[in-house]
Amino acid sequence: MSVRTSPTVRRRRLGSELRRLRELASLTCEQVGDRLGCSASKISRIETARVPARVLDVQALCELYGAGEEQRVVLVALARESKTQGWWQRFDSALPDWFTTYVGLEAEAASIRTYEIQLVPGLLQTEAYARALFETAVNAPEEVESAVEIRRSRQEILRGENPPRYWAVLSEAALQRMVGGSGIMRDQLWYLTEINELRNVTIQVIPAHTGAHPGMSAPFVILSFPDRADPEVTFVDYLTGALYLEKPEEVDQYNLAFNHLVAAAVSPVQSLDLIRATAKQFS
């Protein structure tokens, strides 16, 4: 069985480990920068995975921090792996920086749990539904087609080898909101019933009559990874950017919220019945 890998995840793990070594050495970013003849901001950007680290930089940092030989070999390997190209990087001009990071993390996730309020989640959208969405937000036709192609490429993860465990909880409003016309909505909802047949996909719906619940404020995604060295990330996007929450106490709050949302939703079987009934309304 092949293992999906992502340079984004490697870069994140490398930065986290370098930060841990720096803190063990009781050094600040400013002190490290002074000793290596670079800026403190460069050290910070490497640790937060905002820029890839050169192998020479990693070797110099390991020397300064007193890392053991075995650890140096591992970190240098991570530096090399973090420089490889992910499939999404050919779309750099079409992907905003804040979302490029998400696509890179998603590419290696072992588990993806998502909650949506108004829309069908991106990995579950039909091409026509996605195109209708992008046409409302993007002016140039070529930009719309690039965005649709990116979404279609991302969706391959659910049907590929060693796919992630995907669990989506949707508000009933996401099923009712008209996107692109009744025909597109009908096909989209029937597609949800089809993709839900995949063993790795679970879809649940929170009916409108449920009333107030913990997820009413904003949608979010929780990404978990196959290697325990890579901690969970919660992704919360907004109009012009996104938050990547990595502190354990923050992620724990979203894990708890997701569990509450699952409890508020009807069962997967009942959810399918609700989706089918809603699809028939668009006929």
1 occurs within a structural domain: no
Q: Which two tokens stand for residue 152?
A: 């279609």
- Residue 47 structural domain: 7-81
Query: Span 114-123, mean pLDDT?
Result: 96
Q: What is the pLDDT of residues 101-112, one digit of tens each?
A: 899 999 999 999
C-alpha count within 13 angstroms, C-beta hemisphere, residue 283? 8
Tell whether 59 and 194 lie within a shared domain. no
Query: Span 237-258, mean pLDDT?
Result: 91
Tell whether 56 and 97 lie within a shared domain. no
Q: What's the distance, Cα to Cα, between the start and end of the chain in Å?
A: 42
Q: Which residues fall within 8 angstroms of residue 224, CB to CB, at 6 or more apart? A: 109, 110, 111, 112, 113, 232
Sheet with 111-116, strands from edge to edge, namely 201-206, 165-171, 111-116, 220-224, 233-238, 241-245
Tell whether 225 and 146 lie within a shared domain. yes
**Rounded distance between C-alpha atoms, residue 146 and residue 93, angstroms:** 10
Tell whether 58 and 103 lie within a shared domain. no
pLDDT score for 174: 96
pLDDT category at 1 given cuts 50, 70, 90 is: very low
Cα separations (Å) of 226 from 8, 52, 105, 112? Answer: 14, 22, 12, 12
* Residue 144, pLDDT above cutoff 70: yes
* Residue 168, pLDDT above cutoff 70: yes
Tell me what percent of the residues of the chain surpass a pLDDT of 70: 97
pLDDT score for 43: 95
